[in-house]
Amino acid sequence: MTPPPATVQAPGSGETFLLNLGPQHPATHGVLRLKLTMDGEYITRAEPVCGYVHRMHEKMGENRKYAQFLPNTSRIDYLSAMHYTHAFVGAVERALGLAVPPRAEYIRVITSELNRISSHLVWFGAFLLDLGGFTPLLYAFDDREQILDLLEAITGSRLTYCYYRFGGVCHDIDNAFLEGTRAFVARMRPRLRLYHELVTDNIILRNRLIGIGPIPLELCRRYGATGPVIRGSGAAYDVRKTEPYSVYPQFDFDVPVYPEGDSMARYRVRMDEIEQSLRIVEQALERLPSGPVRAEGVPRVLKLPAGEFCCAVEAARGRFAVRIVSDRREIPWRVKLRTPSFSNLSLFEEASRGMMLPDAIALLGSLDLVIPDIDR
C-alpha cells in the first residue's frame, strides 16, 4: 500500500517535528548531537546533547600526581594543546612560587602562538567545508603542515604536545627551529592575502555569513562566552591583555574586535588573530634571550601548599582556566577545568531560535567547537 504524501506545513503552523543532527558515530573522538525541533525549515528549539565520550579528565586529575596528569591537558582540546598545558603548569608554578627563566617564557609564547595559528587554520578549512567549499581546506592544511613540522621537531608530536614542564620547557630550541619559524612567518602573510581574495571577498561566503547568526553581547555575557565569539560581538576581552600572564605584556599586538556579532564578524576575528599571532612570533624571535630553559630547584615530588590556585590563558577558543585545590598531598584534592567550548556551545540553543537549518549550520561552525573540550 502506497503511503499518503507528506504534507508540507508553512512556518508558524504550530506542527513541528524532531530532527537529529548527529552524531555520526558514538565511537568517534568528538561527538555532538543536536536535537532540533523544526517548524518546517525553521528551528524552534535546538537542544545540544553531550556526553557521548565523557573523558573524566577532572576526576583523573584528582587521582594522579601533578606530573602524571600533565599529558592529559593536551587531550582536552587537542587543537589548542600548548595553551592547555600552559595553564596547568602555570597554576602549579604559582602555587610553588617558581620563577620561570625568561628564555623558557619566550619559547612558550612562540610555540603557543604557532599552535593558535594551527588551530585557526583547522577551523578555517573545516568551516568552509561545512558551507560547501572544499578548496580552502587544502590550502589551510598545507599551511598547517608547516607548523606541525616545526613543532614536531622540538616536541616529538604533531598534535597532543607535552612540551612544557613545571618551571620551563622540556628542552631548548635550536637554530633549525628558529630559521624554520622565520620562514613560516614570511610565507604565511602572502597566504593570508590569498585567503582573503579566495574566501573572505567571495560573494557566496559573504551572503552565507553577513547578518547570519547574530549573537548580542549581553547573550555572550550571560552564557560566559569568550574568545573570538565574544570579540565578534564587540567586547575586547582577551586574557593576554585583561589577565596578563607569561611575557605577553612585553609584546605589541592588537585584540581584533568586531561589533556586528554575526557569523562574518567571528570569521574576521579569527583571520585577524592569525596576523596578530604572526606579529607576536616575530617579536619573540627578535628578542629571544639566552639562558636556561628550566628553573632550578623544582622538586621531583610536587606537593603544593594547602589552598586554591588558579591560572587562566587565552586559548584558541577562549578563556581556559585551571583551578587546583591542594591539601598538601602529592595528588590534588580538586581539579576544576573551565573550558571555553562548553560556554560557547551553551548559547547556541537561544541564538538559533527562528533560524533556517542551513543558517544554523553556519552559526554552529562560527563557534569553532571542539567536543572533547566539552565532554572533559
Residue 310, C-beta contacts closer than 8 angstroms, at least 6 positions apart: 91, 94, 321, 322, 323, 324
The closest alpha carbon to 52, from 69, 33, 70, 72, belongs to: 33
Q: Tell me: pLDDT of 54 over 70.
A: yes
pLDDT at 87: 98
pLDDT at 256: 98
Q: Would the CA dihedral through 327, 323, 240, 243 be positive or negative?
A: negative
* Residue 236 amino acid letter: A
Q: Which residue has the higher pLDDT, 18 or 7?
A: 18
Q: What is the residue whose three cell numbers read 560573494? A: 203
Length of the chain as a residue count? 376
As to burial, measured by CB atoms within 10 angstroms (0-12 exposed, 13-18 middle, 19+ buried), residue 367 is: buried
> Which strands sit side by side in the sheet containing 17-21, from one edge to the other?
17-21, 33-39, 42-49
As to burial, measured by CB atoms within 10 angstroms (0-12 exposed, 13-18 middle, 19+ buried), residue 125 is: buried
Q: Which residue has the higher pLDDT, 62 or 32?
A: 62
pLDDT tens per residue across span 68-121: 999 999 999 999 999 999 999 999 999 999 999 999 999 999 999 999 999 999
pLDDT at 6: 37
pLDDT at 326: 97
- How many Å apart are CA 203 and CA 56, to the nearest integer? 44
- How many Å apart are CA 122 and CA 143, to the nearest integer? 10
Q: Tell me: pLDDT of 279 over 50.
A: yes
As to burial, measured by CB atoms within 10 angstroms (0-12 exposed, 13-18 middle, 19+ buried), residue 243 is: middle
Q: Which residue has the higher pLDDT, 179 or 50?
A: 179
What single DSSP character describes residue 209? H
pLDDT at 12: 53
Residue 140 contacts residue 125 (beta carbons within 8 Å): yes
pLDDT at 297: 87
Q: Tell me: pLDDT of 10 over 60.
A: no
pLDDT at 4: 38
- How many Å apart are CA 136 and CA 134, to the nearest integer? 6
pLDDT at 331: 96
- How many Å apart are CA 81 and CA 89, to the nearest integer? 12
pLDDT band at 244 (very low <50, low <70, confident <90, very high): very high
Segment among 26-30, 259-263, 297-301 with least mean pLDDT = 26-30
Q: How many other β-carbons are positioned within 10 Å of the β-carbon of residue 345?
A: 22
What mean pLDDT do residues 51-65 have? 89
pLDDT band at 226 (very low <50, low <70, confident <90, very high): very high
Q: Tell me: pLDDT of 2 over 60.
A: no
- The predicted model scores a pTM of 0.94
As to burial, measured by CB atoms within 10 angstroms (0-12 exposed, 13-18 middle, 19+ buried), residue 192 is: middle
pLDDT at 144: 98
Q: At what angle do helices 175-195 and 135-155 cross, to 10 degrees?
A: 170
Q: Tell me: pLDDT of 5 over 60.
A: no
- How many Å apart are CA 107 and CA 122, to the nearest integer? 23
Q: Tell me: pLDDT of 9 over 70.
A: no
The pLDDT > 70 percentage for the chain reads: 95
Looking at every residue in the chain, the average pLDDT score rounds to: 93
Residue 327 contacts residue 309 (beta carbons within 8 Å): no
pLDDT at 25: 63
What mean pLDDT do residues 268-294 have? 98
Residue 146 contacts residue 324 (beta carbons within 8 Å): no
pLDDT at 21: 87
Nine cell digits for residue 376:
572533559
The closest alpha carbon to 355, from 255, 146, 165, 212, belongs to: 212
Q: Tell me: pLDDT of 1 over 70.
A: no
Q: Tell me: pLDDT of 15 over 60.
A: yes
Nine cell digits for residue 349:
540553543
DSSP alpha helices (H): ranges in 48-80? 57-61, 66-69
What domains does the chain contain, in order, with CATH numbers?
55-374 (1.10.645.10)
DSSP alpha helices (H): ranges in the chain? 57-61, 66-69, 81-96, 102-130, 135-155, 175-195, 203-209, 217-223, 228-231, 239-242, 263-287, 340-346, 348-351, 357-366, 371-374
- How many Å apart are CA 107 and CA 277, to the nearest integer? 14
